[in-house]
Structure 1
């Protein structure tokens, strides 16, 4: 079923970003952002679900080291010896946007440059331009 408009999907992703900003400001890494963990309520609101892999960082500069997440959505950086932080949720959000593009967006309308830019910013290599949830929410 390919029925979502890009603008509707972008609004849904914006709500996920709002949730990620809140989580990341409180030192929480979800570690399993994917379509199946993004729920749509009966009132049309988005809820992030399944915190079974989530971890709480003790300090803003802390790192996590457990390699976990859903293979098609997990950031490859989770296996790096230096660990990772909240940025892995952003990579997974970019993979989720790609999944939406293939599986849910209308195919009779071309994808915009803004959508492509959003995905590229989410999936940029760590340390080489990956945006934070706060950065992305400012431009989405």
Structure 2
């Protein structure tokens, strides 16, 4: 479902799929311009879904309010992609807290190189605290992955 540039209007449909589908394990909705409003709908739906384990929300124009809601809803995910979101420091702090509190996440792709220069230290501090995580740099983005 990625790369459709559907906008926030489709966010409710994506949220319905996440909330009511108990067989879906992976969902790619990158590049849909969901913004904060769409991210909040997705976050609310994630609280009900116990089967989704991989979610790609990269390049959706999500900002502080969206990241704040998403950070509280990641329980159960094993892989998450929020890359190319233009993440700023407050966003990184919310996400770092979510990763720190979530022991199921084993791969988190977060930063393009531009974002990394501003907020990478927040995730570096997290990596130092959580020995499960290591950095991997690949094709212009950085990710944290579990090495257990």
Higher relative contact order (CA 8 A, sep 6+): 1
Q: Which has a greater percent of strand?
A: 2
- TM-score past 0.5 threshold: no
TM bin, normalised by shorter chain, reads under 0.3
User: TM-score, normalised to structure 1's length?
Assistant: 0.27
